[in-house]
Amino acid sequence: MSGGAAGPDPTARAHAAGPDPRGRTGPGTGAATGGPGTGAATGGPGTGSRELILSRIRAAVAGAPEPGITRAYRTSPDQAGAVELFAERVADYRAVVHVVDADEVAGAITAALGRRAAGRVVVPDGLPEEWARAVRSAVEAGAVPLGRGTSGAGAAAIMRDAPALSAAELDAADGVVTSCAVGIAETGTIVLDAGPGQGRRALTLVPDYHLCVVRADQIVAGVPEAVGRLDPLRPLTWISGPSATSDIELNRVEGVHGPRTLEVVIAR
């Protein structure tokens, strides 16, 4: 990377979406619901088009029947065997998968980072202390200064996102270790919600390697349960395998812009 092209990254505050509760009723715009003919000229550009589009819609659907919605699809598939299915489906995307007992997670983290010889690893706030220690011991044991970072920043280290790491600093990291919010068995999907142990979205995007720990109680059988568990007001990232493209003669190539390697440790 041509050195330090990107300045410090001001998109920094960790999960700014915050915990504000779902039900909100207060009017946001002050403009709403006047019905057609409210006229233009209440302010910003596009006000006229707003009324125009709304009135075109009303004219277009006037008198059309009101369709009902039947939800006859499965909303709670069988939970039995969900952990095994999840492991199998994640592996289907050519991610590296380990299923271990809860007390073996730390060991699995150290071993995985050791295999990668990862010297500079991002650890988001709120990652369980035991896992963070496992990262530290891997980094110290390996202590491989890869020296591909920005000037003088090549030494092995744990990288904390406080103060916020710049995009260039993230680009110089060897990998990132996170927890997650939800795992979906049927599709082999991991969902991050920028909560504790996950950090803001860029942390799991820019580094080339992502190690994610999923607890058995976070795994649900299907997509409907996952949607039900997640908070739409948080920024979500659904991850199903490493990034991939099939744009060249339809040959699948793993790893374009996101992490090229995804490793998943599942704690039974």
Partner 1 sequence: MSGGTFLGMPAFPRNAAAAVQDSQLRFNLRKATHTIRGKRASVVAELPDWAELRAAGKEIKDHTLRNLDRYLLQLEEAVTAAGGHVHWAADAAEANRIVADLVKATGETSVVKVKSMATQEIGLNEALQEEGITAYETDLAELIVQLGDDWPSHILVPAIHRNRSEIREIFQEKMASYGRAAPEGLTDEPRALAEAARLHLRERFLSTKVAVSGANFMIAETGTLVVLESEGNGRMCLTLPETLISVVGIEKLLPSWRDLEVFLQLLPRSSTGERMNPYTSTWTGAVEGQEFHLVLLDNGRTRVLADEVGRQALRCIRCSACLNVCPVYERAGGHAYGSVYPGPIGAILTPQLRGMGSALDASLPYASTLCGACFDACPVAIDIPEVLVHLRGKARHPRAERLGMRAAGWVFDRPARLAGAQRLGARLRRFVPGRLPGPLAGWTDTRDIPDIPAESFRDWWDRTDGGAR
Map the footprint of partner 1 across residues 161-200, applying CB under 8 A. 167-168, 171, 184, 186-189, 194, 200
Specify whether the CB–CB gap between 20 and 183 falls below 8 A. no
Q: By the 8 A CB rule, do 98 and 264 touch?
A: yes
Asked whether position 12 contacts partner 1 by CB under 8 A, the answer is yes
| Region of residue 94 (left: phi > 0; alpha: psi -120 to 50; beta: else) | left
For residue 57, the minimal CB distance to partner 1 (Å) is 5
Residues in region 204-223 near partner 1 by CB under 8 A? 205-206, 223
Interacting span for partner 1 (CB under 8 A) from 8-16, 130-138, 140-148, 211-219: 8-16
User: Which is closer to partner 1, CB of 158 or CB of 244?
Assistant: 244
Q: Residues 87 to 116: which contact partner 1 by CB under 8 A?
A: 89, 92-93
Q: Judged by CB under 8 A, which stretch of 25-33, 99-107, 111-119, 173-181 contacts partner 1?
A: 25-33
Please state, in angstroms and rounded to a whole number, the distance separating the CA atoms of residues 87 and 266.
8
By CB under 8 A, name the one of 32, 80, 103, 217 that touches partner 1: 32
Residue with smaller CB distance to partner 1, 7 or 103: 7
Name the helix (H) or strand (E) containing 82: helix 82-92
Q: Which of residues 46-85 bind partner 1 (CB under 8 A)?
A: 46-47, 49-50, 52-54, 56-61, 64-75
| Cα distances (angstroms) measured from residue 97 to each of 223, 259, 264 | 21, 15, 5
CB nearer to partner 1: pick between 121 and 169? 169
Torsion of CA 112, 116, 119, 123, to 10 degrees: -40
Beta carbon nearer to partner 1, 67 or 163: 67
Q: Let me know: does 74 contact 222? Beta carbons within 8 Å.
A: yes
Q: How far apart are CA 101 and CA 204, in angstroms?
A: 25
118-137 binders of partner 1 (CB under 8 A): none
Closest of 234, 240, 162 to residue 203, by C-alpha: 162
Q: What are phi and psi of 86, to 5 degrees?
A: -55, -50
Tell me the closest approach of the beta carbon of residue 10 to partner 1, in angstroms: 6
41 lines the binding site for partner 1 (CB under 8 A):
no
